[in-house]
Amino acid sequence: MNVIRVMTGNEACAEGALAAGLSFFAGYPITPSSEIAEELAELLPCAEGVFIQMEDELASIGAVIGASLTGAKAMTATSGPGFSLMQENIGYAIMAEVPCVIVNVMRGGPSTGLPTLPSQGDVMQARWGTHGDHQIIALAPYSVIEIFDLTIRAFNLAEKYRTPVILLLDEILAHVSEKVVLSDTAVRVIIDRIIPQEAPEAYLPYRYTQNLIPPMAPFGSGYRYHVTGLAHDETGFPTNDPVEIEKLLFRLQDKIIRNRDDIVQVEEFLLEDAEIGIISYGSSARSCRHAIRQLRAQGVRVGMLRLITIWPFANVKVEKWTKNIGKWYVVEMNMGQIAREVEAAAHGDATIFGIRQINGEPINPEFICQKIKDGLNV
Amino acid sequence: MFEYEKYIRKNKFPLVWCSGCGDGIVLKALLRAIDSIGLEKENVCMVSGIGCSSRLTGYVDCNTLHTTHGRAITFATGIKMAKPELNVIVITGDGDATAIGGNHYIHAARRNIDLTVIIFNNFIYGMTGGQVSPTTPVGMLASTAPFGNMENTFNISGLAQAAGASFVARGTVYHTVMLEKLIKKAILKNGFSVVEVLSPCPTAFGRRNKSGTIIDMMNEQKDNCVTSARAERMSERELEGKTVIGELVNIDRPECSKQYRKLIERCRSGL
């Protein structure tokens, strides 16, 4: 049975996580994400899960990785400054292949910046915040109900691909209240990590399986093995063998890249007959939707390619649509972090303009309409 | 006769540690303590950070986790809270636990979470080549203190005591029988337990400071240490320059993971 509720984005995130099977949350207070922790502090013990407020964000992500290694579905939530502090251990979770979800409710930066105001300035931090060559999965919902659904999806992808998944919200989405219709729990798809079938003696924790994702034994289940952030071979122990190092790093890359089609989601909104395209994501895409309706009412045929998965980047879709439509606007609350990705994917086939705002105010639809109309007169 | 082989990953030998390093002695004492308690290897989880001592986890046949610098206690906290039935032992060093990881160290003590933290105090950053650490004694040389350390030092055990740990002890690699007993008590204690082990580093500390051979360094431990029981009968003047070893704190306080289970029970019964 569907359930109708009114909730904020942060509440939807907490409830989505529980629906996905969350059993461990560790976090540190930070605006504008704190309500996720507050919600879970109340709900988790009643669901026989663990909530713990740690001493900082370094500790929060550490505890999340530790809990995940025991088999728990684990999550933390933070904002820009805290997200920066988590970067080293996000890399650890990538290297040691520990599933977990990191929610980053973006606020204005750099530094302490604008704690109570929205931004989309952490898109590149999500991609390259931790050191070394790596792949990352990042999702960007644009409504309260989509936060609920994509929080579940974030857990599913983390479990399926044994990797940290970053959920990028922003201050607007976190705090806006919307009516949501929650789907029947019976139809929700919940994915759990694959556990080994072989006997403990035969278990290779980082085995090169055909799908590139080794089954994961929870600590304390009889499989005694070693986990390290050092480069390691199939046994999980450190190695300096160049062949083994390359095998590992390419497997970590390929398990994401080869599954792009499964991971990357976009919404194609009124693109079929469009002469002008918009690429946007998160709360900015809400304004774009509104602007597109206004512009179409005035006879300007505009459509939108909305990025739901931010990383890995939707290269294939962007390539395809920039071949069909020659003029594009990338609308984002930063100085063009995704616009550069779009330019690279378009290979010069289309002209790319940015509509940007970084002053703590949301990009409103009128601003977008005006920019696009100004462009018509040029 | 104690069978070490039951607990070690023999194919990972030889050990990474330098000859004369005290860390192997701590490994031995730790394994003997685990054996004397009769812990099942499946139920033991060892978590380490970064540094010489932290490489220990690779050699023990149990659930082992080699984490990032300073963060071992945070990973261990997640493990203990999520699966309280595991015996979680943290392996760390003076730099790992009290410099980069100092905040986690005092907060885990405050929380009184049931972890056993073995801190290998060698007074130096050994793995990175002998840089000054928070426990390098004043005046001693280090590669980043070429004119002698000018800064005051941390008292590792005192820090844990002040922050609220249930069990705190200090041992040395010379007093091996005592060390095994202290580790055993620490594991059995329900609450945050610390064993600070003075483990001399002949390579990065001893050579630069002309401390002599490892035998000399261990003899110094023998001559310089007094047990906590004896120290109680000594005056402040008599204790000057001495290192107190043995059990320092043993108190009972509510333990974090158990308190949380009680909360779950409370929620279940709707109170």
pLDDT, tens digit, 9 for 90 and up, residues B221-241: 999 999 999 999 999 999 999
* Domain-located, residue A163: yes
The pLDDT, as a whole number, for residue A2 is 84
Encoding tokens for residue B51? 């540094």
Domain of residue A359, CATH code: 3.40.50.920
- pLDDT of res. B192: 98
In a domain, A369, yes or no: yes
Same domain, yes or no: A173 and A279? no
Domain total in chain A: 2
Q: Do A63 and B81 touch (CB under 8 A)?
A: yes
Of the residues A170, A187, A204, which one is the last residue of a structural domain? Answer: A187
Average pLDDT over every residue of B178-195: 98
pLDDT score of A176 more than 80: yes
Question: By CA distance, what is B56's nearest residue in A?
Answer: A226
**Confidence check: pLDDT of B271 > 80:** no
Answer whether B78 sits within 8 Å of A219, measured CB to CB: no
How much is the pLDDT for A225? 98
Q: Which residue has the tokens 């009680």?
A: B262
Residue A376 in 3-state DSSP?
helix
What is the least distance, in Å, from the CA of B98 to any CA of chain A? 15
Within-domain flag for A330: yes
* A323 in any annotated domain: yes
The per-residue pLDDT of chain B, averaged, comes to 97
Judge: B65–A227 Cβ closer than 8 Å, yes or no.
Answer: yes
pLDDT value of position A53: 98
Can you tell me the mean pLDDT for A358-372?
97
* pLDDT tens digits, one per residue of B25-68: 999 999 999 999 999 999 999 999 999 999 999 999 999 999 99
Identify the CATH number of the domain in which residue A89 sits.
3.40.50.970
Residue A231 in contact with partner chain B when CB distance is under 8 A: no
Last residue of a domain, one of A187, A202, A227: A187
Per-residue pLDDT, averaged over A307-319, amounts to 98
Q: Smallest CA–CA separation between B160 and chain A, in Å?
A: 16
pLDDT at A378: 59
Find the residue in A nearest to B76 (Cα): A66
Q: Residue A128 has what pLDDT? A: 98
d(CA A326, CA B37): 73
**Are A69 and B45 a contacting pair, CB within 8 Å?**
no
B159: exposed, middle or buried (Cβ count in 10 Å: 0-12, 13-18, 19+): buried
Residue B1 pLDDT exceeds 80: no
Backbone CA torsion sign across B66, B71, B74, B78 = negative
Contacting B residues, span 25-54, partner chain A, CB-CB under 8 Å: 41-43, 45, 47
Q: Which of residues 67-126 of B touch A (CB under 8 A)?
A: 67-68, 70-71, 73-79, 81-83, 85-86, 103-104, 107
Residue A372 in any domain: the answer is yes
What residues does B46 pair with on adjacent strands? B64, B89
Q: What part of A 1-30 touches B (C-beta under 8 Å)?
A: 23-24, 26
- Does B64 lie at the interface with A, CB-CB under 8 angstroms? yes
Q: To the nearest whole angstrom, how far is the Cα of B255 from the nearest Cα of chain A?
A: 14
Question: How many Å lie between the alpha carbon of B20 and the closest alpha carbon of chain A?
Answer: 24
Query: Given A46, A62, A72, which is nearest B267 (Cβ)?
Result: A46
The pLDDT value given to residue A183: 79
A56/B47 CB distance under 8 A: no
CA gap A155, A73 in Å, rounded: 8
User: Is B77 close to A92, i.e. CB distance below 8 A?
Assistant: no
Tell me the mean pLDDT in the region A55-76. 98
Question: Domains in chain B and their CATH numbers?
Answer: 18-268 (3.40.50.970)
| Residue A377: band (very low, low, confident or very high) from pLDDT cuts 50, 70, 90 | confident
Rounded Cα gap, residues A236 and B223, in angstroms: 43
**Environment class of residue B137 by beta-carbon count within 10 Å: exposed (0-12), middle (13-18) or buried (19+)?**
exposed
From chain B, the residues in CB contact with A224 under 8 A are: 41-42, 61-64
- Can you give the residue range of the structural domain that contains A345? 267-377
Q: Is A243 part of any domain?
A: no
Q: How far apart are CA A73 and CA A158, in angstroms?
A: 9
pLDDT at A319 over 90: yes
Q: Kind of pairing, strands B225-227 and B167-172?
A: unpaired
pLDDT of residue B34: 98
Residues whose CB is less than 8 angstroms from the CB of residue A55 and which lie 6 or more positions away in sequence, other chains included: A28, B103, B104, B107
Quick: pLDDT tens for A97-145: 999 999 999 999 999 999 999 999 999 999 999 999 999 999 999 999 9
Of B68, B83, B263, the CB nearest to A70: B83
Do A157 and A22 share a domain, yes or no? yes
User: Tens digit of pLDDT for each residue in A233-287?
Assistant: 999 999 999 999 999 999 999 999 999 999 999 999 999 999 999 999 999 999 9
Share of chain A above pLDDT 70, in %: 100
User: Last residue of some domain: A140, A165, A187?
Assistant: A187
A304 shares its domain with A159:
no
**Contact (Cβ atoms closer than 8 angstroms) between residue A363 and residue A357:** yes
The closest CB to that of B58, out of A218, A224, A237, belongs to: A237
